[in-house]
């Protein structure tokens, strides 16, 4: 746990869709070296929250700051280049490309040089280097030259994270990375998350409660768009309100 100022701080985020308030006055802090998990029932507003943090959706009210600087009005690409990486719940890898190319292309965003049409993209040292490192970290180096579509489901989810890492972010917004994984793949992913924690600020939205309690340093619980508790895992486990909200939901989703 760090006492340093948060790397990413969201304050009073609210998002309305017409008459519906999907997220209401949610504040959340992400510190480097920490995994902050967000759990909640379906429709609790977790996706909307992560969309606002990544920049895909503008908050109706509220502000977001990166390293103390206000980024509320920044577009998603701008935030990505500033160091906020995001993985998606439904896999968004480039299925037609090779595993390596997936990461190389993502890494290219940091040094895009679009006017240099005479240079081959494959020779871009910056992008190929970052891609290699990302694949190494995600444990996919041996599969680098396979087609991304040929990976197992777990492999694809790993690639999703690797693409995130290829942009060399400091903040990781991970949207249900464990979705649809078997037990062996889950172990691998949790080991990866534990390794990443040291050098990143991680937001983890997840349904898998066992995994969350194993790996999170802090847990925020959302119900109907609002935060009902935000605390250390042991205290959340014993929180009466949370237990009530989670009757029946606390089992691992199959």
Partner 1 sequence: MANAKTAWLVPVAGAVALGLLPLVVTTYGQDLVMRIMVFAVFALSLELLVGTTGLVSLGHAAFFGIGAYITVLLSPASEAGSVWLLLPLAMLAAAAYALVVGALSLRTKGIYFIMVTLAFGQMAYFVFHDTPVGRGTDGIFLNLRPVLELGSAALDLGDRMHRYYLTLAALAATYALLALVLRSRFGRALAGIKVNEQRMRAAGFPTYPYKLAAFVLAGALAGLAGFLLAAKDAAANPELLSWHESGVVLLMIILGGLGHLRGAVIGAAAFTLLRELYGTYSIVGPLADHWQLTLGFTVIAFVALLPQGLIGLPARLRTARG
To the nearest whole angstrom, how small is the minimum distance from the Cβ of residue 242 to partner 1? Answer: 31
Could you give the CA distance from residue 254 to residue 249 in angstroms, rounded to a whole number?
Answer: 12
SS3 of residue 173 by DSSP: strand
Site for partner 1 in 63-102 (CB under 8 A): 75-78, 80-81, 85-86, 88, 92-97, 101
> How many residues make contact with partner 1 (CB under 8 A)?
40
Give the H/E segment covering residue 95.
none
To the nearest whole angstrom, how small is the minimum distance from the Cβ of residue 84 to partner 1? Answer: 9
| 163 forms part of the interface with partner 1 (CB under 8 A) | yes
Q: Which is nearer to partner 1, 75 or 238 (CB)?
A: 75
Buried b (16+ CB within 10 A) or exposed e, 69-89: eebeebeeeebbebbbbbbbb
To the nearest whole angstrom, how small is the minimum distance from the Cβ of residue 140 to partner 1? Answer: 17
Q: Which is nearer to partner 1, 43 or 77 (CB)?
A: 77
Q: Are 140 and 162 in contact (CB under 8 A)?
A: yes
Angle between helices 99-108 and 153-166 (to 10 degrees): 20
| 53 forms part of the interface with partner 1 (CB under 8 A) | no
Q: Which is nearer to partner 1, 29 or 160 (CB)?
A: 160
Residues 6+ apart with CB under 8 A from 133: 165, 166
206: left (phi over 0), alpha (psi -120 to 50) or beta: beta
| 145 forms part of the interface with partner 1 (CB under 8 A) | no
Q: Which is nearer to partner 1, 22 or 173 (CB)?
A: 173
Tokens at 181, concatenated:
């994984």
Q: Which is nearer to partner 1, 47 or 230 (CB)?
A: 47
Q: Which residues bind partner 1 (CB under 8 A)?
A: 54, 56, 75-78, 80-81, 85-86, 88, 92-97, 101, 105-110, 112-122, 124, 127, 163, 166-167
């Amino acid at each position: 746990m760090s006492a340093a100022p948060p790397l990413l701080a969201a304050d009073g985020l609210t998002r309305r869709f017409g008459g519906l308030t999907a997220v209401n006055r949610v504040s959340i802090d992400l510190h480097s070296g920490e995994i902050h998990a967000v759990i909640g029932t379906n429709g609790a507003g977790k996706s909307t929250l992560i969309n606002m943090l990544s920049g895909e959706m503008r908050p109706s009210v509220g502000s977001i700051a990166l390293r103390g600087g206000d980024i509320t009005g920044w577009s998603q690409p701008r935030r990505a280049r500033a160091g906020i990486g995001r993985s998606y719940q439904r896999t968004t890898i480039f299925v037609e490309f090779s595993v390596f190319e997936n990461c190389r292309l993502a890494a290219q965003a940091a040094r895009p040089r679009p006017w240099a049409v005479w240079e081959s993209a494959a020779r871009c040292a910056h992008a190929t280097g970052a891609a290699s490192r990302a694949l190494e970290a995600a444990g996919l180096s041996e599969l680098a030259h396979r087609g991304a579509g040929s990976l197992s489901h777990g492999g694809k989810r790993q690639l999703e994270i690797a693409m995130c890492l290829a942009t060399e972010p400091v903040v990781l917004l991970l949207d249900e990375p464990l979705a649809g994984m078997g037990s062996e793949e889950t172990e691998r992913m949790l080991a990866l998350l534990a390794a990443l924690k040291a050098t990143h600020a991680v937001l983890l939205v997840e349904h898998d409660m066992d995994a969350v309690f194993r790996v999170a340093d802090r847990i925020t619980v959302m119900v109907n768009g609002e935060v009902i508790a935000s605390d250390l895992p042991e205290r959340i486990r014993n929180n009466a309100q949370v237990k009530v909200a989670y009757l029946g939901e606390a089992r691992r989703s199959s």
